[in-house]
Amino acid sequence: MSINNEIKKGSMRQVMVNVRNILRSDDELMRLLAYLPENLYTGENIVNKDSNGEVIDSDEYWEIVDDHIFMGEMNTKIEEVQVCRLFIYPGRRRPVHRSYILAKQEIYIDIVVPEAYSEDLRMEWIIDRINELLALEHVEGSIGKMDFAQGNGWVTSIGHEKYQLSFVFGANKK
């Protein structure tokens, strides 16, 4: 028996992969995740500097993606790693009007930011950027647009802050 690795259209897997692709394809978000803030008081920030070129075109791009964007819930000791990270995973699934065919599916994005990145309000900046990229946008595989559901701050280990974004999209059950 062989497993078909093809991603089915309209599946949760397709939506999850497409959300990850949207996030990893955004140069501004990748800079926010990868680079420490520079001097907040001079207004300089590595995220806006042209001299560094685009992260997406760099030789380190896939290494940056692998170090900063994860599919699934947080599974590492974050105290040991001083980088910003995103964790993307499915949330609750609820039927629409008790229908077997249609459902509302939640997707969570946990954002973990070390204190070293908080000087320029990095957490809030990342939250804003993710909302710009996903909220009220159509993600291939979903039915309708991605709706922002809620955001919640969470207590984490000393030296880090965590925020969970929740988005909801229409999904097929078949």
Domain boundaries, position 108 = 12-172
Residue 46 and residue 31 in contact, taking contact as beta carbons nearer than 8 Å: yes
Q: Is the pLDDT of residue 6 over 50?
A: yes
Give the dihedral of Cα atoms 51, 30, 119, 42; nearest 10 deg: 20
Looking only at the bridges linking them, the beta strands covering 69-71 and 143-154 are unpaired
Residue 83 lies in a domain: yes
Computed over every residue of the chain, the mean pLDDT equals 83
**What is the pTM assigned to this prediction?**
0.85
CATH of residue 159's domain is 3.30.2000.30
For residue 163, pLDDT beyond 60 = yes
* Any domain includes 81: yes
- Is 25:54 a contact under the CB 8 Å cutoff? no
Spell out the alpha helix ranges (H) of the chain. 12-24, 27-34, 61-68, 122-134
- CA of residue 70 relative to chain centroid, distance: 8
Distance CA 16, CA 140 (A): 10
Q: Is the pLDDT of residue 143 over 90?
A: no
Instruction: Indicate the number of domains in the chain.
Output: 1
Q: What is the mean predicted confidence (pLDDT) over 127-142?
A: 91
Residue 76 lies in a domain: yes
